């Protein structure tokens, strides 16, 4: 982790490798807008330092120890001139001049580093390495880091045994052609598809105190390469249903699933049905990959 500091501004550049199951994800956790703002800030500091230096007196300030006390000299070429401590204006101007020169050097170093980082963000190193090969070699190379598209494709391709439907269940289908149990679930599925968020419908999940359950949706947050459960409770007018809902939520909590972290909950009653706006707001608030087209 690399940190750059000033008195009123700090920027952290953190490069992390996260185990992604089918590959490793390199995550440069710094926004391009942050880089641009930081560079502009440092350049403004350098400009101010250079302006101060232009009006500074010539020569350099030398400080010698004289019987335990600092003694100030102005050195120009090979000659030196004693400066009495009472001439605070000259001493301060020369000290500030030297400081501004060193500050400009430090600012130049950091500005160069940040500009390099900005250029590197155009493409990841594994992508640049692939681009340097002849295109005829690309299909034979496996990069250590999967692209979002590749990662999503492998995640969506996992096989599992679905819950199944009772004989009298209605035939309801999402835009992707998946059979679902309610119109509200179809709304959620279609919104997720439109936002480019990968999901699996009723993939089994084993919890320590509930056994195997079938969450309505298991989502893939590509921004963090983690899974999030989405449960919709659509019959809150029913007392028995509410009791089962509370039991299920407690089971989730006991197994480390919490709303605001890795669990999304929506619900509705006859008087207050679920709507598309709420679904989009929930997805956008919880998932870093929301609105990113990957499917």
Confidence of residue 125 (pLDDT cuts 50, 70, 90): confident
Whole-number average pLDDT of the chain: 86
Classify residue 157: in a domain, yes or no: yes
Cα dist from 189 to 136, 194, 200, 256, whole Å:
39, 9, 9, 24
As beta bridge partners, residue 212 has 206
Do 26 and 156 sit in the same domain of this protein?
no
Cα dist from 101 to 39, 52, 80, 96, 206, whole Å:
18, 10, 21, 9, 64
Do 157 and 30 sit in the same domain of this protein?
no
* CA dihedral for 99, 102, 105, 111, sign (positive or negative): negative
Residue pLDDT, tens place only, 145-161: 888 888 999 999 999 99
**pTM of the predicted model as reported, rounded to 2 decimal places:** 0.58
Do 114 and 154 sit in the same domain of this protein?
no
Do 184 and 266 sit in the same domain of this protein?
yes
DSSP 193-225: HHTT--EEES--EEETTTEEE--SEEEEETTTT
Classify residue 282: in a domain, yes or no: yes
Q: Is 150 helix (H, G, I), strand (E, B) or coil?
A: helix
Q: Which residues contact 226 (CB under 8 A, 6 or more apart)?
A: 220, 262
Do 130 and 173 sit in the same domain of this protein?
no
Do 128 and 9 sit in the same domain of this protein?
yes
Task: Give pLDDT, residue 215.
Answer: 96
Do 233 and 273 sit in the same domain of this protein?
yes
CATH of the domain at 228: 3.40.1350
Total Cβ atoms within 10 A of residue 183 = 12
Task: Give pLDDT, residue 34.
Answer: 83
Do 275 and 156 sit in the same domain of this protein?
yes
Residue pLDDT, tens place only, 206-236: 999 889 999 999 999 988 889 999 999 999 9
Q: Report phi then psi at 79, rounded to 5.
A: -100, 150
Do 188 and 215 sit in the same domain of this protein?
yes
Separation between Cα atoms, residue 38 and residue 12, nearest integer Å = 11
Do 106 and 222 sit in the same domain of this protein?
no
Separation between Cα atoms, residue 222 and residue 286, nearest integer Å = 12
DSSP 236: T
Q: Which helix (H) or strand (E) element contains residue 148?
A: helix 148-156
Residue 10 pLDDT more than 50? Answer: no
Domain range for 26 is: 2-56+88-135
Do 247 and 165 sit in the same domain of this protein?
yes
């Amino acid at each position: 982790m690399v940190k750059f500091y000033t008195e009123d501004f700090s920027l952290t550049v953190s490069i992390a490798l996260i185990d992604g199951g089918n590959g490793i994800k390199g995550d440069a956790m710094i926004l391009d807008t942050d880089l641009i703002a930081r560079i502009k800030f440092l350049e403004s500091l350098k400009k101010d330092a250079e302006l101060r230096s232009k009006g500074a007196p010539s020569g350099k300030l030398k400080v010698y120890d004289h019987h335990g006390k600092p003694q100030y000299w102005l050195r120009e070429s090979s000659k030196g001139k004693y400066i009495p401590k009472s001439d605070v204006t000259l001493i301060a101007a020369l000290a500030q001049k030297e400081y501004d020169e060193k500050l400009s050097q430090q600012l130049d170093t950091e500005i160069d580093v940040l500009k390099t980082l900005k250029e590197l963000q155009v493409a990841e190193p594994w992508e640049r390495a692939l681009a340097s090969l002849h295109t005829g070699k690309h299909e034979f190379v496996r990069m250590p880091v999967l692209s979002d598209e590749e990662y999503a494709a492998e995640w969506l391709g996992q096989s599992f045994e679905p819950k199944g439907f009772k004989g009298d269940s209605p035939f309801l289908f999402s835009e992707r052609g998946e059979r679902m149990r309610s119109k509200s679930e179809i709304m959620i599925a279609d919104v997720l598809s439109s936002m480019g968020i990968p999901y699996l419908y009723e993939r089994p999940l084993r919890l320590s105190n509930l056994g195997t359950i079938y969450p309505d949706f298991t989502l893939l947050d590509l921004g963090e390469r983690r899974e999030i459960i989405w449960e919709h409770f659509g019959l809150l007018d029913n007392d028995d249903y509410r009791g089962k809902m509370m039991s299920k939520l407690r089971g989730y909590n006991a197994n480390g699933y919490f709303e605001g972290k890795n669990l999304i909950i929506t619900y509705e009653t006859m008087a207050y049905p679920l709507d598309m706006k709420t679904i989009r707001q929930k997805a956008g608030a919880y998932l870093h990959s929301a609105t990113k087209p990957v499917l």
